[in-house]
Amino acid sequence: MIVDRSVFDDSHLPQRLQHRDAEVNQLARALEPAKQGDPADDLLISGPPGVGKSVLTRHTIDRLATRADVQYARIECMGQTTASIIRDVLGAIGDRPPQNTAREDLCLQLRERVTDPVVVVLDEASEVHETKALDRLADVEYISMVVICYDPDDWLSQAPNRIARRFHGRQLRLDRYGVDELADILEPRAREGLEHGAVARDQLETIADEVAGVARFGIYSLLAAATLAKDRGHDEVLDVDVADAYPLAQEWMRQAALDSLAFHHHVLYEIIREAETIDSRTLHQRYDAIADDIYAGRQRTPLIKRTRRDKLAKLHGYDLIGQEGGTKDRIYWVLDESVRSGYDIDVRVAATKDSEL
C-alpha cells in the first residue's frame, strides 16, 4: 500500500509546484538583482500555516542558487535569539562562529563578511521582533530579507519603521488552496508514495475538502488514509478509510507534539487526561500530591506553580489541551484522549492519595 513514506514528509520537495506560478514568479523577480551582484529586493510572504510558504521559498531560492552564485540562509526564527539568528546567517555563508561568541563580535563579522548579495529567509518570523536581529540584518547593505509570517499587517505594525518601510509594496500573499488545486497537489504524492491506483481522484478531493485547503494536513491525511486501509486489510483505500483519515492525522500530529516536550509537560498532561476536565486549583493539588513519587529517581525536580503555568501554556499552544476561563475559573482538558505520554506516569496514585487525605 505505502511504497515510499518519505514523500509525505515535511521536508519532501515536489518536483513541480502546482498552482503557485504567479507567486514563484514574483519571488523570482524580487531575487533577480542578486544575479548581477546587486542586493535583492525584500519580500514579505504571508499566509495561513501549511499552505506552502516555506516550500515556495525553498523551491524558488534553491533553483536560483544552482543557476547563479547567490548565497542564502534559511532561518527558523521561532524561539531564536538575536545572536543565534546572526550566527545562523554567518554559518550559511561560511564558517559558523562558536556558540559563545559575543553578540557584538557576531554583528561585526556580519558586516565584514557579507560583501556579496545574501538572501536571508526568516521563516516563522512572527516573534522575530523581540530580537534585535532585524535591525542588525538591515544594517548590512548586501543582505535582503524574505520574511515569512502569518499576518502581514500585524507583522509590519510590530516592526520598526525603517524595517517596515522596506516592505512597502513588496508583499506576497498565499491563500488556502481550492479543493481541486489541493487534489492536484496530492495526486503526485499518491502516485509516488502509494501503490498504483490505491486512491481515487474523488477521494483526494474529499481529503482536500476536509482539511480546508491546508496542504500539510492534506498530505498527512492521505498517508493516514493509506495506513488505515493497510491496517484494515483493504486492497485499496476505501471511502471509510478516507473518512477516518483526518482525525488520525491530527492524532499523529498531536502525539508528535507531545513527544517533543519535556517530562514536566507530560506529568501535567497526564493529570489532565486522567481527570477529563480539571480546574487549576485541583490540578495544582494533584500535582503537589504525586510530584514527589513521580519525580523520584529522575534528574528533574517538581516545578513551582508559576512554572507549571508556563508548561500549561505550552501544551495549549501545541494544541494538546483546551482551556477555558480567565483567572479564577479556568478549566483544562485534553483535546485527544488517545494521545498519551510515552513516560510511565501513574497519576491515579494521586487520586487515591487525594481521597485518603
Binding site for DNA (CB under 7 A): 79, 81-84, 87, 98-104, 262, 264, 280-281, 284, 300-301, 303-307, 309-313, 326-330
Q: Which is nearer to DNA, 206 or 280 (CB)?
A: 280
Q: Which is nearer to DNA, 4 or 310 (CB)?
A: 310
User: Strand 143-149 and strand 277-279: pairing?
Assistant: unpaired
Q: Which is nearer to DNA, 53 or 264 (CB)?
A: 264
CA–CA distances in Å: residue 267 to residues 262, 272, 342, 348: 9, 9, 11, 12
Nearest-approach distance from CB 276 to DNA, in angstroms: 17
Q: Which is nearer to DNA, 66 or 100 (CB)?
A: 100
Nearest-approach distance from CB 111 to DNA, in angstroms: 16
Q: Which is nearer to DNA, 154 or 329 (CB)?
A: 329
> What does 332-343 look like in DSSP terms, one character per residue?
EEES-TT---SS
Nearest-approach distance from CB 268 to DNA, in angstroms: 11
8 Å CB contact between 142 and 118:
yes
Q: Which is nearer to DNA, 6 or 327 (CB)?
A: 327
How are strands ordered across the β-sheet holding 321-324? 277-279, 331-334, 321-324
Q: Which is nearer to DNA, 104 or 112 (CB)?
A: 104
Cα of 158 vs its chain's centroid, Å: 21
Q: Which is nearer to DNA, 142 or 263 (CB)?
A: 263
Nearest-approach distance from CB 282 to DNA, in angstroms: 8
- Cα separation, 294 vs 301, in Å, equals 9
8 Å CB contact between 254 and 320:
yes
CA–CA distances in Å: residue 103 to residues 83, 91, 98, 207, 271: 6, 15, 11, 48, 42
Q: Copy the grid coordinates of residue 220.
A: 498527512
8 Å CB contact between 23 and 52:
no
Nearest-approach distance from CB 17 to DNA, in angstroms: 32
- Cα separation, 107 vs 126, in Å, equals 22
Nearest-approach distance from CB 250 to DNA, in angstroms: 24
Nearest-approach distance from CB 310 to DNA, in angstroms: 6
Picking from 1, 4, 7, 57, the residue whose alpha carbon sits closest to that of residue 220 is 7
Nearest-approach distance from CB 308 to DNA, in angstroms: 7
- Cα separation, 136 vs 59, in Å, equals 27
Q: Which is nearer to DNA, 201 or 305 (CB)?
A: 305
Return the exposure string of 226-255: e unless at least 16 CB atoms fall within 10 Å of the residue's CB, then b: bbbbbeeeeebbbeebbeebbebbbbbbbb
Cα of 29 vs its chain's centroid, Å: 27
Q: Which is nearer to DNA, 36 or 100 (CB)?
A: 100
8 Å CB contact between 242 and 207:
yes
Q: Copy the grid coordinates of residue 138.
A: 538591515
Nearest-approach distance from CB 289 to DNA, in angstroms: 13
Nearest-approach distance from CB 258 to DNA, in angstroms: 15
End-to-end C-alpha distance for the chain, whole angstroms: 55
